[in-house]
Structure 1
């Protein structure tokens, strides 16, 4: 498989996952401090919503890359 086919399959998989789950959540540390023997950290939970048009667009672009990406001129 060449790089174009791998990118096309990755776009299709990402589009399907975006449509299936609708978004993803991740946790990031925002503040960390040490007060003597105590260590305090603050973590924030962030949610990213994937729009429907982005999932459909990723599937469409991936499909087009599979169909037309490997053709020689």
Structure 2
């Protein structure tokens, strides 16, 4: 088995173009590390249509009797 000390460390960031000074590089590193640690999803999920909601299929059965027409469509 290999330990952490045996593997070479890859850099967190690599500057491809330009020459950032120490303050710019520190600010960029803080932002990238903060985003990685937050665990926030990359993109918000698209809102689902009410037509695709399967909760409407799970409802109480209709009961015949006085006022049943009123209870047939109104949520409880």
TM-score (norm 2): 0.30
Structure of larger gyration radius = 2
Q: Tell me the TM-score normalised to structure 1 length.
A: 0.31
In terms of fraction of residues, the more strand-rich structure is 1
Which of structures 1 and 2 has the larger relative contact order (alpha carbons within 8 angstroms, sep 6+)?
1
Q: Greater helix percent: which structure?
A: 1
